[in-house]
Amino acid sequence: MDVKRTVVFGGTFDPFTLGHLRIVEQALSFADEIVIAVCENSQKRPKLSADERVELIRRAVTPLSSVRVEKCIGLLTAFCKAESIRVAVRGIRSAAHFEEEQVMSEINRRLYPELVTIMIPTAPELAHVSSSAVREIARYGGDLHGWVPVEILENIAEAYLD
């Protein structure tokens, strides 16, 4: 009996970037299904609601049939338990980012011991791409080509423009 290899990619995705998309594509090389869990973070105030972010991400990943996008209410570990997911993926842009993710991985492991975190280095050509950079560029009406998926570029540009 074949077991479906499902992994979760959790985050606030405020907004979803080409860096996020590349991590999803890379994870598909070893997983049968990716669940993008759009989470809330009490320390962040996203411009768009979780439901709006879910819809935008669904549009961005439409060509990828093995990707599901879901809203995550509460802890990612609780979401993973409910979905019987035991593997999480995270993108890593730098050594400092790795250290942050290492701490979060350990917290998640303590909350859900069966959860393993796989850290995927960001492609060098996308190492500069981050949600915070996209928000800042969009805020001032900058060009988002090369920063966010084209399927949602106009929506992101409009939503984050101040």
pLDDT per residue over 132-158, tens digit each? 999 999 999 999 999 999 999 999 999
Q: 133 in a domain, yes or no?
A: no
CA distance 142 to 52: 22
What's CA 33's distance to the chain center, in Å? 14
Whether residue 142 is contained in a domain is answered as no
SS3 34: strand
Give the count of beta carbons closer than 10 Å to the beta carbon of residue 25: 15
Q: What integer pLDDT is reported at residue 42 of this predicted model?
A: 74
Q: Give the pair of three-digit tokens for residue 60.
A: 């961005």
pLDDT tens-place string over residues 72-98: 999 999 999 999 999 999 999 988 889
Domain total of the chain: 1
Whole-number pLDDT of residue 74: 93
Task: Classify residue 129: in a domain, yes or no.
Answer: no
Q: How much of the chain, in percent, has pLDDT values that exceed 90? A: 88
CATH number of domain containing 47: 3.40.50.620
Q: Measuring CA to CA, which residue among 90, 82, 129, 130 is closest to residue 107?
A: 90
- Residue 26 structural domain: 6-124
- 36 located within any domain: yes
113 in a domain, yes or no?
yes
Q: What is the mean pLDDT of residues 120-139?
A: 95
Rounded-to-10 torsion of CA 29, 14, 77, 87: 10
| pLDDT confidence of residue 77 | 97
141 within a domain of the structure (yes/no): no
What pLDDT does residue 114 have?
97
Q: Is residue 10 part of a domain?
A: yes
The answer to whether residue 59 sits within a structural domain is: yes
In this predicted structure, the answer to whether residue 159 has a pLDDT above a threshold of 60 is: yes
Query: φ, ψ for residue 32 (rounded to 5)?
Result: -80, -30
Q: What is the pTM of this model?
A: 0.94
CB 79 within 8 A of CB 72: yes
